């Protein structure tokens, strides 16, 4: 169907089939004194969500999203199917509720994308798990400014999960200790903002789960190109999708507590959806491509620019990060 035809159909279906469900629900609920009303099947209301789904170039179908099992084979859905002449995409989505910020809470086992940080900083993101090239022991990877407090951290300092801003406390929430970081330079050129931490004995972790995205598959062997679609899961904005808008970007000046620092050979990313690709607290997030292969480590961003007007994000190429720290991905 043409986009205008689908829009007209959606408006008609809402009026003819969906609105009566809501009216019937109010009447039935008012009479349901002793028995559980059928409107509460599966803990949700008898309702349908309607939208538009692209099926090809200038070809669209009516999207029907069912939120209770009682409506899956109902007369209402069948009537809508016939009205749309079969040009529908029907899916059961169940109950929809507000999202709690799981990333900002205490997570055991440790998970990629969760709140973490040096005990003195606010909070950043646990990027991924790596192993030392020298002996294969596991480490936590994130930014210098997340794990090493912009060069002020000392080897052995406590790393807590969640971070201090998310009510993490040194001691009960200590999951490891600062091990190694690449110093940030206020006078020279920087290429990475990265650090690693040991993992405390007895603390379990999942090295491949990208919550909301899938399973981390490895490291990309190719350099990202402009237009590459990327994804990340971070402490603040959770799962977001982005698009590479530039690479090998030099003279990117980033504001830190220790001053304005220059970075060369960086990757620039814009949000591919309505919102930004990242916000404060997402620093340290691992960025992956469509094949779920690691491509970069997120470290900075601003609220200006991007085709959606929601700002740009900047990231270190992951191969450079690994080489500087002497680590490889743990998978």
Summarize pLDDT for 162-192 with one digit per residue, the tens: 999 999 999 999 999 999 999 999 999 999 9
What are residue 60's DSSP bridge partners? Answer: 54
Which pLDDT does position 172 carry in this prediction? 97
Instruction: Give the CATH class of 212-325.
Output: mainly beta
The structural domains of the chain, with segments of one domain joined by +, span: 3-92, 102-197, 212-325
Contacts of 244 (CB under 8 A, 6+ apart): 224, 225, 226, 227, 228, 230, 267, 268, 269
Listed residue (222, 104, 197) closest to 143, CA to CA: 197
Alpha-carbon distance of 168 to 124, in angstroms, equals 12
> By percentage, how much of the chain surpasses pLDDT 70?
89
Least confident segment among 25-39, 189-203, 278-292: 25-39
CB neighbours of residue 51 within 10 Å: 12
Listed residue (156, 160, 155) closest to 123, CA to CA: 160
Which pLDDT does position 101 carry in this prediction? 54
Predicted model pTM: 0.72
8 Å CB contact between 129 and 139: yes
Look up residue 143 and give its two tokens.
């930014």
């Amino acid at each position: 169907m043409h986009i205008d035809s689908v829009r007209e159909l959606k408006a008609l279906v809402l009026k003819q089939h969906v609105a009566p469900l809501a009216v019937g629900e109010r009447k039935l609920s008012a009479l349901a004194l002793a028995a559980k009303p059928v409107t509460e099947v599966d803990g949700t209301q008898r309702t349908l969500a309607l939208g538009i789904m692209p099926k090809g170039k200038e070809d669209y179908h009516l999207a029907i999203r069912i939120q209770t099992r009682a409506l899956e084979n109902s007369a209402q859905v069948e009537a809508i199917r016939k009205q749309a002449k079969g040009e529908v995409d029907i899916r059961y989505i169940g109950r929809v509720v507000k999202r709690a910020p799981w990333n900002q809470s205490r997570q055991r086992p440790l998970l990629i994308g969760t709140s973490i940080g040096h005990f003195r900083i606010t909070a950043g993101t646990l990027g991924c798990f790596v192993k030392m090239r020298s002996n294969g022991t596991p480490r936590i990877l994130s930014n210098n400014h997340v794990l090493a407090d912009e060069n002020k951290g000392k080897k052995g300092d406590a790393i807590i999960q969640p971070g201090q801003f998310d009510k993490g406390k040194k001691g009960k929430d200590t999951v490891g200790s600062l091990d190694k970081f690449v110093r940030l330079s206020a006078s020279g050129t920087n290429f990475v903002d990265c650090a690693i931490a040991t993992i405390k004995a007895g603390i379990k972790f999942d090295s491949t789960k990208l919550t909301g995205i899938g399973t981390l598959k490895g490291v990309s062997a190719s350099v990202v190109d402009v237009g590459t679609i990327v994804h990340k899961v971070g402490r603040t904005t959770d799962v977001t999708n982005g698009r590479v808008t530039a690479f090998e970007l030099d003279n990117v000046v980033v504001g830190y507590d220790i001053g304005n620092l220059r970075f060369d050979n960086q990757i620039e990313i814009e949000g591919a959806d309505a919102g930004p690709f990242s916000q404060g607290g997402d620093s340290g997030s691992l960025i992956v491509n469509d094949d779920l292969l690691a491509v970069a480590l997120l470290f900075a961003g601003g609220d200006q620019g991007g085709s959606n007007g929601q700002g740009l994000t900047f990231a270190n190429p992951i191969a450079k990060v690994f080489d500087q720290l002497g680590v490889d991905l743990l998978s």
